[in-house]
Amino acid sequence: MDNVKAVAQKLRRWFLELALLVLLLGTLWGQAASGSAASQDQASQGQASQSQPLAGEGASATQETIVSSKEAKELFRSVDEILQFASTDTGLPIKHKVKRRLTKRDEVQSYIRKSMKDDKDAKRLERSSAVLKKFGLLPRNFDLPNFLVAMLREQVAGYYDVKTKTVNLLNWVDVEQQKPVLAHELTHALQDQSFGIEKWMKGSAEKTDDKKDDPSPGDIEGDEESAARQAVVEGQAMVVLLDYSLAPTGKTLLESPQIVEALKQGMLVGTADSPAFRDAPIFLKEELTFPYRYGLDFTAALLQAGGKELAYAGAFKDPPKTTRAIMEPETYLAHEKLEPMKMIDMERDFKGYDPFDIGAMGEFDVDVLVEQYAGRDEAGAMYPEWRGGYYFAGRPKRDKSAPIGLLYVSRWSSAAKAAEFAAVYAKSLAQRYRKRQALGTDGKVAEDAPPVDSWRTLRGRHDWLTEEGVVAIEVRGDAVLISESLDDETTKKVEGDFWPEEKAAPGKP
């Protein structure tokens, strides 16, 4: 989801890494205290300890630790030692020393606030929020800007600045607690020295896209690619962070799978001192932690398959292009190539609409969508069956107050899986719209239609009338086409473009 992911990428950099440290150290210390990383009981104890805030983070609201001059010198000296550890762990060379500076909390907050105002973030936030609410991934009354402000207050973190090539350390967090974060951030410094993170992250989108104001069909390819590349960047850094934290025990990430699982679960739960994140909608939790959780597994899978060269430099030289490759590393290792989806002519079909957002609906997006409406187990079973998808969201030019119109097309591993996904999406209508009346083939309300939540599969064409217009879901073979709040003429244009052959007769649930 193009605008959505662009905003989320900045959020991940700003807010999460210190929070992840709290979760990580709670888990690691709970495990390492016994001198072993073996049993599930220990993993559970590690998770339980996550609820206790660490000095300098959870305690910062009432009693903030200020790093002394002596401690600051120690922290500065540790940068070179930890950089060497990260280089040895990844195989990425140290090409030059990394600049370092100690920052105050208000300096970091000021930097973030300034960054939030830069570029087109305000416009992106507005569009992202509207589109997410249309999909039902955010509640209709959810205030995304205020959520970000709350996260800012809770999760100010140290960071590696790719523009100044400087690692920014924190003057209000205990020195020992900052060292694992340094291992993470200095991995970014090594990635930057070898591959230029800022340029590399742009991928195939690095053309003229930086200055364009509005979303376009060209965003679809870059959408998934951007998410996959960020998972590489953050996943590698998470592995180094874990290896550094486990080093005193003589273990590594590959030898401590239960710690990794406890950490990943803890990321989604949040901590007692992070109420904004803990209480956030499923989508935001999943979106913000995606590159850390799945990137960690992706890097670990590559380490097992081909060692450091494949897992680190190799992933930069031959980067994954989709979230499917990240979530299912075996597809990346097998060099899977999915057949491209048929693209409609969006400029022609949506001539009467101002585009809000255009992007891919990848495997990860499907996972979150299905989890939202059908639960974690069904999402885990369904997302591997994804084979492609994209969407358009826009508002009619003639009526700026009209609801956002939405087109979403997807392809699946089989006709049966397409029918299953269509049924899940139909169930979402009960949560997203106050009014939903099934329409018959004559366009009139079908009073005897079965409720959508009783269906396990949906085939053929089905329409519903809602307070925001008609929702149409059509399944043909392994493909699903969904139209929401689009005018009838536009829906027909899209259907004729995506399915140019003669229209099939409507099916039954």
Over residues 88-99, the pLDDT tens digits come to 999 999 999 999
Residue 111 — very low, low, confident or very high, per pLDDT cuts 50/70/90?
A: low
Contact 49, 25 (CB under 8 A): no
Residue 322 — very low, low, confident or very high, per pLDDT cuts 50/70/90?
A: very high
Q: Is 426 helix (H, G, I), strand (E, B) or coil?
A: helix
Over residues 59-83, the pLDDT tens digits come to 333 346 688 889 989 989 999 999 9
The pLDDT value recorded for residue 194 is 98
Is the model's pLDDT at 19 over the cut of 50?
no
Is the model's pLDDT at 264 over the cut of 70?
yes
The pLDDT value recorded for residue 366 is 95
- Helix intervals (H) in 33-168: 40-49, 69-90, 105-117, 121-135, 144-154
- What are the DSSP E strand ranges found in 334-491? 353-360, 386-396, 405-412, 436-439, 460-466, 469-476, 479-484
Residues 6+ apart with CB under 8 A from 7: 121, 124, 125, 128
Mean pLDDT of 203-222: 61
Q: Is 305 helix (H, G, I), strand (E, B) or coil?
A: helix
The pLDDT value recorded for residue 226 is 87
Query: How many Å apart are CA 302 and CA 98, to the nearest integer?
Result: 27
The pLDDT value recorded for residue 88 is 98
Query: How many Å apart are CA 447 and CA 450, to the nearest integer?
Result: 9
Q: Determine what percent of the chain falls in helix, strand and coil, rounding each to the nearest 5.
A: 60, 15, 30
Fold of 346-498: Protein Transport Mog1p; Chain A (3.40.1000)
| Per-residue DSSP letter, 208 | T
Instruction: Count CB neighbours of 304 within 10 A.
Output: 13
- Sequential DSSP letters for 450-463: PPGGG-S---EEEE
The residues pairing with 360 across neighbouring beta strands, listed in sequence order, are: 390
The pLDDT value recorded for residue 57 is 28
The pLDDT value recorded for residue 48 is 32
Is the model's pLDDT at 472 over the cut of 70?
yes
Query: How many Å apart are CA 375 and CA 261, to the nearest integer?
Result: 20
Radius of gyration of the chain from Cα atoms? 24
Is the model's pLDDT at 298 over the cut of 60?
yes
Is the model's pLDDT at 505 over the cut of 50?
no
Comma-separated ranges of CATH 3.40.1000 domains in the chain: 346-498
Q: Is 182 helix (H, G, I), strand (E, B) or coil?
A: helix
The pLDDT value recorded for residue 181 is 85
Of 26-40, 146-160, 402-416, 477-491, the range with the lowest mean pLDDT is 26-40
Instruction: Count CB neighbours of 139 within 10 A.
Output: 11
Query: How many Å apart are CA 223 and CA 205, to the nearest integer?
Result: 9
Query: How many Å apart are CA 71 and CA 39, to the nearest integer?
Result: 36
Residues 6+ apart with CB under 8 A from 176: none
Distance of CA 93 to the CA centre of its chain: 29
The pLDDT value recorded for residue 146 is 77
Find the length of the chain: 509
Question: Which of 30-34, 35-39, 106-110, 500-504 shows the highest mean pLDDT?
Answer: 106-110
Residue 27 — very low, low, confident or very high, per pLDDT cuts 50/70/90?
A: very low
Of 148-157, 183-192, 459-468, the range with the lowest mean pLDDT is 148-157
The pLDDT value recorded for residue 62 is 33
Query: How many Å apart are CA 266 and CA 205, to the nearest integer?
Result: 34
Which tops the pLDDT comparison, 144 or 198?
A: 198
Of 29-43, 46-60, 478-492, the range with the lowest mean pLDDT is 46-60
Over residues 121-133, the pLDDT tens digits come to 556 667 778 888 9
The pLDDT value recorded for residue 91 is 98
**Cα–Cα separations (whole angstroms), residue 42 to 164, 249, 258, 360:** 42, 15, 9, 40
Which tops the pLDDT comparison, 129 or 341?
A: 341
Instruction: Count CB neighbours of 254 within 10 A.
Output: 13
* Phi, psi angles (nearest 5°) of residue 462: -140, 135
Closest CA to 311 of 249, 250, 247, 254: 254
Residues 6+ apart with CB under 8 A from 96: 193
Check: pTM over 0.75? Answer yes or no.
yes
Over residues 273-295, the pLDDT tens digits come to 577 777 888 888 888 889 989 99
**Beta pairing class for 436-439 and 405-412:** unpaired
C-alpha atoms less than 13 angstroms from C-alpha of 266 in its C-beta half-sphere: 29
Mean pLDDT of 256-268: 77
Query: How many Å apart are CA 182 and CA 138, to the nearest integer?
Result: 34
Of 92-96, 108-112, 439-443, the range with the lowest mean pLDDT is 108-112
Residue 184 — very low, low, confident or very high, per pLDDT cuts 50/70/90?
A: very high
The angle that helices 121-135 and 105-117 make with each other, rounded to 10 degrees, is 80
Query: How many Å apart are CA 179 and CA 244, to the nearest integer?
Result: 9
Is the model's pLDDT at 426 over the cut of 60?
yes
Is the model's pLDDT at 31 over the cut of 50?
no
Query: How many Å apart are CA 303 and CA 301, to the nearest integer?
Result: 5
Contact 27, 259 (CB under 8 A): yes
Mean pLDDT of 397-423: 95
